[in-house]
Amino acid sequence: MRPHGGPKELEQRRQRAISLLREGYQPVDVATMLGLDRRSMRRWEATHRQKDEKGILARQAPGRSPKLDSNDLRKLAKALLKGSRKVGHSTDLHLDWDLVSYVA
């Protein structure tokens, strides 16, 4: 299970763990002190040994690329701010399928 905290907080946790290792603590002891699984501690240690500080830095989480580019988002925002009636609809509500027509 992923620990709580954002990428930067988790990076600081890894840096603290490496710092404790440098002070001479054993990986199992560091894991206990920081509430880590000992396998995670050993993995971080190995990654740090191989890649130095770059190995324990926070990384951007991978994810799906956006479906709308900046131009589409601008069009959509403009239509939403104008209001539904001003963009040609008979009600004050924007419906999902209506929103698609603004950017398609």
The pLDDT tens digits of the residues spanning 48-68 come to: 999 988 888 888 778 888 888
30: alpha, beta or left, given left = phi > 0 and alpha = psi -120 to 50?
alpha
Q: What distances in angstroms separate CA 15 from CA 28, 32, 57, 74, 84, one per listed residue?
A: 16, 16, 8, 40, 51
Q: What distances in angstroms separate CA 14 from CA 7, 11, 32, 64, 78, one per listed residue?
A: 11, 5, 14, 27, 44
pTM metric for this prediction? 0.57
Mean pLDDT in residue range 24-30: 95
Higher pLDDT, residue 53 or 31: 31
Cα gap 28→46, rounded to integer Å = 14
pLDDT at 15 (0 to 100): 94
